[in-house]
Amino acid sequence: MEPNFVKGAKYEKWNPLFETIATFAFTPKLVTTKGAHIRDGVDLKRTMMMVIIALIPCLLFGIYNTGHWQMVAELGNRNLPFWENGLNKFWNGSLIVLPLIVVSYGVGLGIEFIFGMLRGHSLHEGFLVSGMLIPLTMPADVPLWMVGVATAFAVIIGKEIFGGTGMNIINVALTARAFLFFAYPTSMSGDKVWMAGTETTKVDGFTGSTALGDLATFMSDKPVFQNLNGFTSEYTLSESFIGMIPGSVGETSTLACLIGAGILLITGVGSLRIMASFFVGGLAMGLLLNLMGGNPYFELPAVYHLVIGSFAFGAIFMATDPVSAAQTAKGKLVYGFLGGLLAILIRVLNPAYPEGVMLAILFMNISAPIIDYYVIQGNINRRLKRIKTA
Amino acid sequence: MSRLVSIHKGLDIRLQGLAEKQLKILPNSRIICISPLDFHGLNPKLLVKEGDSVKIGDPLFFDKTNEALQFVTPASGTVKSIIRGEKRKILQVLIETSENQEYKNGSAEDVSKLSSEELKTKMLACGLWPFIKQRPIDVIADQNQEPKAIFVSAFDSSPLAPDYNFILEGREEDLQTGFNALCKLTKGKVHLNIDAKNDSALFSNIKGVEINKFAGKHPAGNVGTQIHHIDPINKGEYIWTINIQDLVIIGNYFNTGKLNARRTIALSGSEVSEPQYYNVLIGTNLDGILKGKVKGNHVRFISGNVLTGDQKQQNDYLGYYHNQITVIPEGDNYKFFLTKGWLGLGFDKFSNSRLFPTFLLPKSKQFVLDTNTNGEERAFVVTGELERVFPFDIFPMQLVKAAMTKDIDGMENLGIYEVAPEDFALCEYVCTTKINIQDEIRKGLDIVAEECL
């Protein structure tokens, strides 16, 4: 088969496609030519596959959770027992989530292939992870065409114009989400989008709001709950930790995210520095707000901030994207800490954006080169100082 | 007072086929070869033509840019052929060795009575100088520079490396003379860096030098690592280095007045049936060593170690600086993704990452690695992996990127003067991108040498 695709042969321009499929099925017979004669077993395919494996707990839980809240919206009963009718919920959830995944991968990989063929290289693996992250950050009720448009935007503007995998400045999956968030705000926030079927439910007065949405009302004139106790009994800490709350498809379960974090840390794919400092940053901001007090939202126990919304998901899967994060060891600590800090700051103090994690990480993506610059400059200065003292 | 330096970063690649401590002394091979390509950046001008008869120590060619620097023949006989490549570039000078080995006239000298200049002139003329290399740039030392120190590593920590304690047993006298010569060449210190685990009297009794002990994984034995931790190089400074076996050749010359350019090399690697040590002449034909010793029929012959050596054919010649021959399987076959490929379990893959279960296996397990790259070239995505095997206060990925983009200021700032390509060998091994990092660093060094020195 291969001779049909080599340079000068009949199907030369389809070589990237052929190469992608061939190298997927077989590690190619490339051998070392210069330098080290042996090479480590790692390659980008395996690295990326580990991230996808780490996302599976979030995905499975997300499917179930989506099915659950769809049923809730249908019946108009927010107190529906979570673990009953499991198969049914999982099936319904699959019908909502799997199309999101298909659209995301279909559009993204299609564009990647076109760029690959234009540039004459096979598919680079970065999008395998982005394509899974995008649906997991979407509200269940988002129209499929929006997912397609957002993915196209993210892949072209967020990544390919910079040169493809490894060259992007900001996280690709978050670019997709941010694009929808600003282009179609009504489909990305509010209390109508988090549960599939909220808009069509026939139950009067039913609200599909999330924990963060409800919390944000504390900052307005018409809070949903009279005080914090009302909130904490609606969203208990353990339920929030397990993820039995409405939210974007894959983000609700801190537990599933932590299982993913375990996989990323054991295999060494995810950076412990970034994850840990992100959590510390979030906790620090939460505690600072607790100290200030004066408003129920400010007084929300800091631990709550870590388990609601997309905080854990962002810290573990988004902030750790090695391409857009800081690249130096010290830089990673600063990057993670500031990211966590900002996420909670935006979440609490800016009622226009109930969730701050996405914006915080995007902001830190853009700041990461500056952080690295100072870390590297420190190293350079140490070297210069050596000359002066010598 | 010796100093102990512990190296915490690095990686010992556990390969099968370590040489047994048995020595076989081989006679001179019929043909030997001195290749100008073994000396990076050399611009050779021939002094012999085909059919000339030569004695040991007769010059074969010299460096056009530094005419005092002569390269001599380690064997007597006739110049059989001079092989040239494109643009008449000299690739190899082949010498057919004669039955009786004759030495060019020379006499034993007391190094301590020579001045530094006399010593340099002598070493340049009798072909000993090419053994001395300099940092920065990692080329043959420029005799007109003043080195701030000279570094000698007494051990090699690279995969399947030869054991100098075994090789140099009984050569105390030549070693001491060699070090006496080095002490004459610098106003600074001569550092002898020994293995903290294998602390033999052979090296610790050397006089006149500063002895430092190094502990840790590879690259603890690389002289570049040692320089960085003892006396790092700043812009404008020079440090000279020499392999300890080559130093013995120098010492032996001054003790006997004869150039005995023989060294003991380790024949190693998973495809060698009887890995052991051989005493051979520099530039020896590999076939004489390898014949009947190679197990597989599709293998790669490497003059040097698996990380930094040169690819050779079975009838090629030993590289000028090499102390080792390694034979490993070629890897030019497809590997199905679920069994041996990228998604397989990977118990047979030695990896510094924890993506493969290598890290769970006992430390005694040894691996057979082939020359497959295990993946295609990609952009830099993963961060922090090079740092884990790079025991320098230098940002490796940033420096490699600066070299790749020919950013001279960037390279200078990030520490290009302190490194040689071999220091990046492990980075190249572990890197997910499969980029030829050593080659990029070499190109970067060449640019810096041309523009800044």
Mean pLDDT of A193-218: 79
Buried b (16+ CB within 10 A) or exposed e, B342-351: bebebeebbb
Give the distance from residue B258's alpha carbon to the nearest chain A alpha carbon, in angstroms: 35
Judging contacts by C-beta atoms under 8 Å, the chain A residues touching residue B307 are 35-38
C-alpha to C-alpha distance for A96 and A73, rounded to whole angstroms: 14
Q: Across the interface, do A376 and B340 touch by the CB < 8 Å criterion?
A: no
- Indicate whether A202 pLDDT > 70: no
- Indicate whether B1 pLDDT > 60: no
Residue A195 or B396, more confident: B396
What is the per-residue pLDDT for A74? 87
Share of chain A above pLDDT 70, in %: 99
Beginning with the edge strand found earlier in the chain, give each strand of the sheet holding B189-195 in spatial order.
B3-7, B210-216, B189-195, B149-153, B239-241, B133-135, B139-140
Question: Where does the pLDDT of residue A208 fall: very low under 50, low under 70, confident under 90, or very high at 90 and above?
Answer: confident
Optimal mutation site among A30, A38, A129, interface B, most CBs of chain B within 10 A: A38
What is the per-residue pLDDT for A120? 83
Q: What is the pLDDT of residues A266-318, one digit of tens each?
A: 999 999 999 999 999 999 999 999 999 888 889 999 999 999 889 999 999 99
CA B268 to chain centroid: 16
Mean pLDDT of B438-450: 95
Q: Across the interface, do B355 and A50 touch by the CB < 8 Å criterion?
A: yes
Kindly calculate the radius of gyration of chain A based on its CA atoms and give it in whole angstroms: 23
What is the per-residue pLDDT for A6? 74
Q: Which backbone phi and psi does A66 adopt, to 5 degrees?
A: -60, -45
- Indicate whether B128 pLDDT > 90: yes
- Indicate whether B426 pLDDT > 60: yes
Q: Across the interface, do A31 and B13 touch by the CB < 8 Å criterion?
A: no
Q: Across the interface, do B372 and A27 touch by the CB < 8 Å criterion?
A: yes
Note whether A15 contacts B: Cβ–Cβ < 8 A: no
- Indicate whether A155 pLDDT > 80: yes
Mean pLDDT of chain A: 90
Give the distance from residue B433's alpha carbon to the nearest chain A alpha carbon, in angstroms: 7
What is the per-residue pLDDT for A190? 78
CA A127 to chain centroid: 13
Q: Across the interface, do A124 and B378 touch by the CB < 8 Å criterion?
A: yes
- What count of other Cβ atoms lies within 10 Å of the Cβ of residue B357? 12
DSSP string, A183-219: HSHHHHSSSSSSSTTTTT--STT-----HHHHHHGGG
Residues 70-89 of A with CB under 8 A from B: none
- Indicate whether B162 pLDDT > 60: yes
Note whether B95 contacts A: Cβ–Cβ < 8 A: no
- Is the distance from CB of A137 to CB of A310 less than 8 angstroms? yes
Query: How many CB contacts within 8 angstroms connect chain A with chain B?
Result: 201
- Indicate whether B265 pLDDT > 90: yes
Question: Where does the pLDDT of residue A203 fall: very low under 50, low under 70, confident under 90, or very high at 90 and above?
Answer: confident
Question: Where does the pLDDT of residue A188 fall: very low under 50, low under 70, confident under 90, or very high at 90 and above?
Answer: confident
- Mean pLDDT check: name the lowest of A59-73, A224-238, A269-283, B309-323: A224-238
Mean pLDDT of A208-229: 84
C-alpha to C-alpha distance for B299 and B301, rounded to whole angstroms: 7
C-alpha to C-alpha distance for B179 and B195, rounded to whole angstroms: 18
Question: Taking Cα atoms as reference points, which of B306, B309, B5, B253 lies closest to residue B129?
Answer: B253
Residues 28-87 of B with CB under 8 A from A: none
Judging contacts by C-beta atoms under 8 Å, the chain A residues touching residue B222 are none
Q: What is the pLDDT of residues A326-362, one digit of tens each?
A: 999 999 999 999 999 999 999 998 877 878 899 999 9
What is the per-residue pLDDT for A222? 82
Question: Where does the pLDDT of residue B174 fall: very low under 50, low under 70, confident under 90, or very high at 90 and above?
Answer: very high
Note whether B396 contacts A: Cβ–Cβ < 8 A: no
Mean pLDDT of chain B: 93
Question: Where does the pLDDT of residue B61 fall: very low under 50, low under 70, confident under 90, or very high at 90 and above?
Answer: very high
What is the per-residue pLDDT for B439? 96
Residue B263: how many CA atoms within 13 Å on its side-chain side? 28
What is the per-residue pLDDT for B3? 86
C-alpha to C-alpha distance for B191 and B398, rounded to whole angstroms: 30
Question: Where does the pLDDT of residue A1 fall: very low under 50, low under 70, confident under 90, or very high at 90 and above?
Answer: low
Buried b (16+ CB within 10 A) or exposed e, A118-140: eeebbbbbbbbbbbbbbbbbbbb
What is the per-residue pLDDT for A196? 79
Note whether B432 contacts A: Cβ–Cβ < 8 A: yes
Q: Where are the domains of chain A?
A: 1-27+44-205
Q: Find tokens 């590297």 and name the residue.
A: A376
- Indicate whether A55 pLDDT > 80: yes
What is the per-residue pLDDT for A25? 83
Residues 226-265 of B with CB under 8 A from A: 232, 234-235
- 0.90 exceeded by the pTM? yes
Residues 287-316 of B with CB under 8 A from A: 300, 302, 306-309, 311
Q: What is the pLDDT of residues A25-39, one digit of tens each?
A: 888 888 888 889 999
CA dihedral B436, B440, B443, B444 (to 10 degrees): -160
